[in-house]
A and B are shown apart, each in its own frame.
Chain A
Amino acid sequence: MHMKKFVSKTDVVIIALCLISALGIFFYAKSLMPKASEMGNTHLADSPTLKASETGYVRIQVDNRLYRMLPLSGEGAFPIAQGKGKINVVEIKDGAVRMLSSTCKNQNCVHQGKVTLENRDTRPLFNAIVCLPNQVLVELLAPDEVRAGEMP
């Protein structure tokens, strides 16, 4: 097992193909994202519970089902209790949403930090906070990204 070179030609091809696939997946994912204009939104005026001044919404999904939709202006700590001791607490404060605490083992969701309308395009997980152990997905949405029937 003697290797003179750091990488072989085959290695370079492998790395290049992986990089190209990653780019491909990135742009494929981008094309999957629904555009605001195509989503059939509720118009802000149609929903009596909505304030026209609302800047964003926090969508909480548990086990792939809509759990709660909260306005970004409604500050507070919102517990998500699933039984069996699974509790996540989502905090909305000063235009930012974060996972305040979680009973999960890895605490990844807590470490993912705050999402704001300003930083959500530059975070690694974009607008989302994900807790895989407890199957909780928290997303910060702009008003035009909210689908009909999801309004709080």
Chain B
Amino acid sequence: MKKTKRITLAAMLLSVMMILGYIESLFPVIVGVPGIKIGLSNSVLMLSLYWLGIPFSFMLMLGKVVLTAFTFGSLQSMQYALAGGLLSLLVMMATMKLLPSATTIGVGVLGAVFHNIGQMTVAILQLQTGVLVYYLAILMVVGILTGTLTGYIARGLIDRLPKRLFV
């Protein structure tokens, strides 16, 4: 029964992540400045990391990337999403394991910053232009802000949602 519950919860979280990602894509934070989004679905992924653990969270990230690419995006946009998502999740997992004194805010900041690093690395490799290295620095600072926000939201979710009902 417990495993069924976990799988059900993972499926629910995945759909929430996809919807959040889709809604965010409709409302750019700053028009004309590409690559900047709040990344609310990362709050949900962090909830999953704390509640469901690494294997489920890995599947959630992969599921979100693949399903979003097929429903709203393309194979080309999937390269960026996958590079960002994979690097971000690996760094968040490592931070939780190695730095237990980091709260969801530290984890969220690293997740956001490394998401941007992953995506921009693909873009820099493809276009090979120094302008994008500059831009990466700007995106990293933005990631600190958005990561703090999503980390704070993740903490609210973890503190307030009744875990025993779900897991």
Contacts and interface: CB of A to CB of B under 8 A. Distances in A.
Contacts of B76: 132-133
A14 B33 contact: no
Interface string B34-73: 1000000000000000100000000000000000000001
Interface string A1-44: 11100111111001100110111011011101100000000000
B32 A64 contact: no
B126 interface: yes
Contacts of A1: 50, 158-159
Interface majority SS (helix, strand, loop, mixed), chain B: helix
Interface residues of B, number: 45
Interface in A104-141: 105-106, 108, 111-113, 124-128, 130, 132-133, 135, 137, 139
A15 B109 contact: yes
Contacts of B99: 10, 14
Given A11-B106, A22-B140, A125 B101 contact: no
B162 to A, nearest CB: 12
A96 to B, nearest CB: 14
A6 B129 CA distance: 39
Contacts, number: 122
A106 B33 CA distance: 12
B86 interface: no
A11 B130 CA distance: 30
A137 B102 contact: no
A26 B32 contact: no
A111 B130 contact: no
Interface majority SS (helix, strand, loop, mixed), chain A: mixed
A18 B134 contact: no
A132 B101 contact: no
Given A23-B137, A26-B134, A111-B32, A11 B109 contact: yes
Interface of A: 1-3, 6-11, 14-15, 18-19, 21-23, 25-26, 28-30, 32-33, 61, 64, 105-106, 108, 111-113, 124-128, 130, 132-133, 135, 137, 139
13 contacts: A1-B159, A9-B101, A14-B95, A14-B110, A15-B106, A18-B109, A18-B144, A22-B141, A111-B31, A113-B32, A125-B135, A132-B123, A132-B127
Which 5 residue pairs across A and B have the least CB separation, nearest first? Answer: A11-B106, A26-B137, A29-B133, A22-B140, A108-B34
Given A29-B130, A112-B34, 16 more contacts: A3-B103, A6-B105, A8-B102, A10-B99, A10-B106, A11-B102, A11-B106, A14-B99, A22-B141, A23-B137, A32-B130, A64-B127, A111-B34, A124-B33, A125-B33, A130-B123
